[in-house]
Amino acid sequence: MNSVFVPKRTGPLNVDVIREATRGQWKSRIYPELGIDVRSDNRHGPCPHCGGKDRFRCDDKQGSGSHFCNQCGAGDGFALVKKVRGCSFCEALRLVAGVLGLDSHAPIDRAVLERQRRQRELDRLKKERRRELDGLTIDALRAAESFICSRSGIDISSWTGQRLDDELNALADAYRLIESEGLNG
């Protein structure tokens, strides 16, 4: 196990700064430097705390170090450090700060934290919008297939590859023309 710099306690710990600095660092840096063995491929394996063969996985959702064990439960990266090292939250915070080379009492830069929070929210909204658009695209393709089959008697279920792409692109162009000319209602 690597030796870890642990800042001396001189006042209240700045949890926000340390938590923000850990985002995306758990699997690649923090866990290995603290001697916590987790699989990097999100597959089940032994729990670094209670053992077992395949009861544990580290999914690291949103870079938080999140994990789940069928025996000892779920938590974020700090919870796993606490379990494996047998320490308090404050001690886990100091250990992690040491791995990242942070002073655990650094002043909070509220503007930076707010920018990072807004960026995470924007990324979440973009991902949500992409999922909505993907769903609309699938719905539109189903509607197009239904329309083509009902209006023309053409069976497009056998269309594959380039022909399907060409026909759907032509249909999309026609739909955009109808929309732009205001002829759809």
What CATH architecture applies to the domain 15-106? Answer: Alpha-Beta Complex (3.90)
Distances (CA, A) of 12 to 60, 107, 133: 27, 11, 46
- Residue 77's identity, in one-letter code, is G
CB distance 52 to 71 below 8 Å = yes
pLDDT in tens, 65-123: 999 999 999 999 999 999 999 999 988 998 898 888 886 555 555 666 577 678 878 88
What's the predicted TM-score (pTM) here?
0.53
Q: How many Å apart are CA 133 and CA 96, to the nearest integer?
A: 39
- pLDDT at residue 28 above 70? yes
Domain layout of the chain by residue ranges: 15-106, 112-181
Lowest model confidence (mean pLDDT) among 35-39, 53-57, 102-106: 102-106
